[in-house]
A = this chain, B = another copy of it.
């Protein structure tokens, strides 16, 4: 099966600790890398992950809090020193370009590649990236400033050919693509060989949803329905539910509630408040609602 991996570079929240890095994740989808958020220190974590810098061409920024974007200038600057040539595409709120441009002009003058900003409206659900095998859609969230999550979805792939049955029924080569795409085969005598006889179903498309930072927002469930893996922030335990509400963050239980309502395959929680010495309490509270829950940790790699 083609690669679809989630790499956690950092899963802490706003206040840095020696236990958790600021937020960043990298998806490896068929050897293309997609970064989500880029907190301070991300470039070192990326190096630690041994993912290839040169395969990263797309960065998605959920919102403009420092713990989600302060690592960008360092990462871009390092790309410059490494004499990268491929364009780097950054998908973000329009404001980021205004904030980053003076620094890019000063620190990255004469770089051998372009940084191309793709502004989007975080309040609107929209496909902001698409290639042959993948779409990325924004997930409008509710936080202290405009924020959205991202839904990565593989496109359905053609069925696999059942070579033996193709030979048995004498299907000609030139029909092969049509068979893969679901057509039946009609013999010269009019006999119909149904597609299901000639093919094996392909693997179901995989999907990953990233929802951070956000207050508990039940309507998310609809958009992330049955995703393979849902990352949802779980900044606080239930004992801090009031603080979660005030700061527009979620509790672990609320994250699990979204996972449950959306019948996702698996839930990954992160963006842990610095107050937790370990996150066992968060995991336990989430599992009570949605048993198939994992804690994020730095340098974690999950294969979908």
Contacts and interface: CB of A to CB of B under 8 A. Distances in A.
Contacts of A99: 102-103, 106
Chain multiplicity (copies): 2
Given A66-B107, A103-B103, 5 more contacts: A18-B47, A41-B44, A64-B107, A66-B74, A70-B77
A281 interface: no
B78 A15 contact: yes
14 contacts: A15-B81, A16-B47, A16-B74, A17-B44, A18-B44, A18-B47, A18-B48, A40-B44, A64-B107, A65-B107, A70-B73, A95-B106, A98-B102, A99-B106
A43 interface: yes
A76 B272 CA distance: 21
Interface in A5-52: 14-18, 21, 40-41, 43-44, 47-48
A122 interface: no
Nearest to A96: B106
Interface of A: 14-18, 21, 40-41, 43-44, 47-48, 64-66, 70-71, 73-74, 77-78, 81-82, 95, 98-99, 102-103, 106-107
Contacts of A106: 64, 95, 99
A48 B20 CA distance: 12
Interface residues of A, dominant DSSP: helix
A43 B98 CA distance: 25
A44 B16 CA distance: 6
A65 B81 CA distance: 12
A70 B21 CA distance: 16
A99 B15 CA distance: 24
